[in-house]
Homo-oligomer: A and B are copies of this chain.
Amino acid sequence: MPKQKVDESFIILQSLKLFRKQSYYHTSMSDIASACGLQKGSLYHYFPSKEALMKKVIITVHQYFKDTVFFHAYDKKKSPTKRLELLFESAEKIFMDDETGSLMGNVGVETALMIPEFADLVKQFFTDFFHAVKTIYLDKYSEEIANELAERSVAEIEGSLMFARVFNDHSFLKNSIKRILSRTETKAKSTLK
């Protein structure tokens, strides 16, 4: 194990893991402290409240998606098909990963429904997700169709993510992504013809 530097980002990472595994409301500041090798009170040197910590977690995940997933959509050097593939495949990788994965898919939504400030952050995440996917589709389709396809894809991904967790079976998400990618190819072909 690498030496654990306890700093803000380390705490955020540990919190993220716990929130994902146990949900926000089942993760106590005590749990987080333990995971960081700290005392409860020490956390408050870094974050003024549990809520503030959660916000940073959401923002961190959002940023991580921007840098690792969404950016593919805007890489104009690659073909739309390739971009879509890279985007969803990188998303899949993160969602499957136990560490950072699907915070947004479940915890985010769960908390967003209760705490308005979380809702804003979660909305921003999904809005960015939509926008990235739509941007790719816009290369081939009209505004309207691109919009619909994006909405559909992202919704399906999120629904699958939910099933993946409830059924504890990753293939829901895998199949979903496979479908989205293949569907596009077909559609692309038929439309471009």
Contact B158 A175 (CB under 8 A): no
- CA distance in complex: A151, B163 (Å): 10
Which of A22-30, A60-68, A70-78, A133-141 lies on the face that meets chain B? Answer: A22-30
Q: Which of A123, A160, A172 has the most CB of B within 10 A?
A: A160
Chain B hits for A113, CB < 8 A: 23, 106, 165-166
Is A82 an interface residue when CB atoms closer than 8 A count as contact?
Answer: no
- CA distance in complex: A52, B119 (Å): 30
Which of B25, B114, B122, B156 meets A159, CB within 8 Å? B156
Is A152 an interface residue when CB atoms closer than 8 A count as contact?
Answer: yes
Given A159-B154, A172-B151, A176-B152, A22 and B166 contact (CB-CB distance below 8 Å) = no
Is A112 an interface residue when CB atoms closer than 8 A count as contact?
Answer: yes
Which of B126, B148, B151, B152 meets A166, CB within 8 Å? B126
Chain B hits for A22, CB < 8 A: 114
- CA distance in complex: A155, B23 (Å): 21
Known: A155-B163, A155-B176, A158-B158. 19 other contacts (CB 8 A): A25-B25, A25-B26, A106-B109, A113-B165, A119-B166, A122-B166, A123-B166, A148-B175, A151-B160, A151-B176, A152-B156, A152-B179, A155-B155, A155-B160, A155-B172, A156-B156, A156-B159, A157-B159, A159-B160
Q: Which residues of A contact B (CB under 8 A)?
A: 22-23, 25-26, 106, 109-110, 112-114, 119, 122-123, 126, 148, 151-152, 154-160, 162-163, 165-167, 172, 175-176, 179
- Which 8 residue pairs of A and B lie closest in terms of their CB atoms, listed nearest first? A155-B159, A159-B159, A158-B159, A110-B110, A155-B160, A25-B25, A156-B156, A155-B156
